[in-house]
Amino acid sequence: MRLLPTLAAMMMSLILAPAALALTEPAAMPPSSLSLSAQGEVRAPADMATLTLGVVSEAPTAAEAIGANAAEMTRVLAALKTSGLAARDLQTSGLNLSPQYDYTPGQSPKLRGYQVANQITVTARDLSRLGALIDATVRAGANSAGQINLGMANPLAAENRARLLAVKALNDKASLYAKALGYASARLVSLKEGSTESPPVFMARMAAAPMADGGPTPVAPGEMTVSVNVSGVFELVP
């Protein structure tokens, strides 16, 4: 009859043995990973520009100011078209009519007349002719000018070169970290592109005044910086 307790004890030990092994066996460690980011940057020449030109007119009455301004702006537009610009490259960007007052201390403001400011945004796709274009519009009557924004008509090629540099920099950084941490390599798990920037280059505001006979207004296009940011997750490989 003593065999029954012994048999029961053996059965119990067999049941509890796997549980004990499960408690002592270490859990599988998740693979180590890296989250990194990098930037690729290239410089490329500007090949286009946008600028604002305009005519500011004053007259005793609003009708006279509008009429004088319209006549001057018509001549400016004709000069732009004669310079070879297409209609798609010319866009009215501002038209403002405002009263003008003279102020004397101790007296009420006195209406002097009216001012009309008419602005047009010009897209120049041939930078070699930009200086001559500016001069032609000033001679035609433009007396207001803003900044020149230099850019690229098609930045995709420069952006793709920046992308390749960014990915190479990202891979190089991952390899460096992997070796520093004692791993054989780093395997890319996911890749994400962040911001892509090719900001325009701003030149100083132009002084709209008739040019001397020393040649066209000089314009230096220079180069633009195009940058691409990428980020990725890498699995460290033993």
**Main-chain dihedrals φ then ψ at residue 160, nearest 5 degrees:** -65, -35
Q: What is the pLDDT of residue 216?
A: 76
Nearest to residue 215, comparing CAs of 100, 131, 113?
Answer: 131
Least confident of 5-9, 137-141, 145-149, 205-209: 205-209
Confidence of residue 27 (pLDDT cuts 50, 70, 90): very low
**Is the CA virtual torsion 104, 109, 110, 116 positive or negative?**
positive
Token representation of residue 105: 């201390």
Least confident of 29-33, 199-203, 211-215: 211-215
Q: How many CA atoms lie within 13 A of 107 on its CB side?
A: 7
Q: Mean pLDDT of all residues in the chain?
A: 85
**Stretch 168-192: mean pLDDT:** 95
Longest dimension (CA), the chain: 129
Angle, vertex CA 62, rays to CA 57 and CA 63, nearest 5: 95
The dihedral over CA atoms of 68, 70, 75, 76, expressed in degrees to the nearest 10, equals 110
The CATH class for the domain spanning 30-45+154-199+222-238 reads alpha beta
- For residue 132, the SS3 value is helix
- Domain ranges across the chain: 30-45+154-199+222-238, 48-151
Indicate whether this model's pTM tops 0.75.
Answer: no
Tokens 């796997």 belong to residue: 18
pLDDT of 213 > 90? The answer is: no
Q: How many CA atoms lie within 13 A of 227 on its CB side?
A: 10
Least confident of 5-14, 150-159, 226-235: 5-14
Q: Which fold has domain 48-151?
A: Alpha-Beta Plaits (3.30.70)
Tell me the pLDDT tens digit for each residue of 64-120. Answer: 999 999 999 999 999 999 988 999 999 999 999 999 999 999 999 999 999 999 999
pLDDT of 190 > 50? The answer is: yes
Q: What is the pLDDT of residue 198?
A: 76
Report yes or no: 40 and 167 within 8 Å, Cβ to Cβ.
Answer: yes
Cα–Cα distance, 213 to 170 (Å, whole number)? 54
- For residue 3, the SS3 value is helix
- Residue 3's Cα: distance from chain center in Å? 87
Tell me the pLDDT tens digit for each residue of 138-152. Answer: 999 999 988 889 999
